Amino acid sequence: MDSLILSQNNTSLNCHSCILKHYDHRKWQGSNECNCNKFNASQTQQRRLKTDTPWEKKDDKYYEKRKRNNMAAKKSREAKRRKDNEMVLKLFLLEKGTTWLQKNPEKLN
């Protein structure tokens, strides 16, 4: 989740902490702008231009390197998916607990 586009005014929250800070299951609250300076244009790293490797250089070493890279990318995507799922579950449980506490204020004492 690199950025979240808000449908009403097309503003975006770029960092995860700002998304969580402004999240409300009923509506979005507060400022919709990311102000933590994590994603300033001057601070982001730019990618190199893609260049195709000539077929003459595609030897066993090249294919082994590609295989390792593909496995690392797959592992990273799975870890991100697992972390996102855990966060969704945690959010659900916290919302459920909040709702229960709002309905049962006498249980707080």
Q: What are the tens digits of pLDDT across the range 58-89?
A: 999 999 999 999 999 999 999 999 999 999 99
The more confident residue out of 19 and 14 is 19
Q: List, for residues 20-33, the tens digit of each pLDDT value.
A: 665 555 554 545 55
Q: Is 104 domain-assigned?
A: yes
In a 3-state reduction of DSSP, which class is residue 101? helix
Cβ atoms < 10 Å from Cβ of 13: 25
Task: Provide the strand spans (E) within the chain.
Answer: 4-5, 12-13
Are 67 and 43 within 8 A, CB to CB? no
| Contact in structure between 38 and 16 (CB atoms under 8 Å) | no
DSSP H or E run through 37: none
Between residues 108 and 11, the one the model is more confident about: 108
Mean model confidence pLDDT for the chain? 76
pTM of this prediction exceeds 0.85: no
Domain that includes residue 93, residue range? 57-109
Same domain, 20 and 66: no
Amino acid at 43: Q
63 and 106 belong to one structural domain: yes
Instruction: Assess if residue 49 is contained within a domain.
Output: no
- The count of structural domains within the chain is 2
Q: Is 84 a member of any domain?
A: yes
The DSSP annotation for 59-88 comes to -HHHHHHHHHHHHHHHHHHHHHHHHHHHHH
Q: Which of 7 and 89 is assigned the larger pLDDT? A: 89
